Amino acid sequence: MSTVSSISSLLPAHLSFRASNQLTKLTSSSSLINLKTPFSLCATLHHNPSSSKIRAKDSNLDTSFFDELDPEQEIAFEQPSPPEGWVKPPPFYELPPETEEEIAGAYEEIYGPAYSGESVLGNDIYVMDAKVKKSVGFGKKKKEKVRDGFEERVVQVRRVTKVVKGGKQLSFRAIVVVGDKQGRVGVGVGKAKEVISAVEKSATNARRNIVTVPMTKYSTFPHRADGDYGAAKVMLRPASPGTGVIAGGSVRIVLEMAGVENALGKQLGSNNALNNARATLVAVSNMRQFRDVARERGIPMEELWK
């Protein structure tokens, strides 16, 4: 017990009581611990279960190399011999002086093009780093309009709401008509949080729904046609040269973007701009040229009026 008291006195105060209890259990069985060596006792008290795994792994290692090594012995460093054919490079102060272009090219290769307005390696000096773009926000390029020959015309922009669990989500709905004024026209609709984005979406949607309008040499319809979409009904009639486009609402915009110069149009039923525009496309799709009808019937065009 004298050994136990001497060891407990070496331990901190908050561990003395716990250590004394463990020491009394350990001293009861002489096979567990050797009280003659206090160091082994402390090692047993502070035993780490993970250390046994490390020792088990380390037991397979070959440590015979360190048996004859003296840790206090000073070992001189031996310079490795150079390979065959190696020539020592000359110092930098003996090299010929570099030109300004070589220095600028080496700098540009490491750090990128400088903002001096010139590039030795042919890089674009106006291209900024991706990290700089994110942090500063400069260098953003506006999206260029698609140059495919189509003109865009906004028919209607409305603010719409969507009721969700947390409340209402506000967004904008845009109706756009695209056409080349040469017989091709399309109607599209799109929604977005911003008006510009909604117009871009609707223009893209309109380009996917292009319809060809049959016209005569007087820029009018070959015959009468009616079309309906939902509750909207549209009536289209050809007109003589010089009449112009007599129509209202979205029907007039669709006919103008298609290139029709003389026509009569009337909206019957609903006053919805989107449905009337689509009803106009339905009416135009039902039209056919005289030559197409004569080809299907297998007769010359002169026989159509007999």
The domains located in the chain, with CATH, are: 151-212 (3.30.160.20), 225-298 (3.30.230.10)
pLDDT at residue 37, as a whole number: 45
φ/ψ (deg, to 5) at 232:
-95, 140
- Model confidence at 131, pLDDT cuts 50, 70, 90, reads low
Q: In the predicted model, is pLDDT for residue 30 greater than 50?
A: no
**Beta pairing class for 167-179 and 210-212:** unpaired
CB of 193 closer than 8 Å to CB of 172:
yes
- Is 226:235 a contact under the CB 8 Å cutoff? yes
% of the chain at pLDDT higher than 90:
42
pLDDT-wise least confident of 66-70, 158-162, 170-174, 231-235: 66-70
Strand bridging mode 245-246 / 167-179: unpaired
- The pTM (predicted TM-score) of the whole model is 0.53
Run of H or E including 23: helix 13-28
| Residues 8, 1: Cα–Cα separation, whole Å | 10
Mean pLDDT comparison of 16-25, 95-104, 134-143, 249-258, highest-scoring range: 249-258
**Stretch 134-139: mean pLDDT, rounded?**
52
Judge whether residue 252 has pLDDT over 90: yes
Q: pLDDT averaged over the chain?
A: 79
pLDDT for res 167 = 92
Confidence at residue 211, expressed as pLDDT on a 0 to 100 scale = 93
pLDDT of 112 above 70: yes
Which band of pLDDT confidence, cut at 50, 70 and 90, is reported for residue 228? very high
pLDDT, position 21: 55
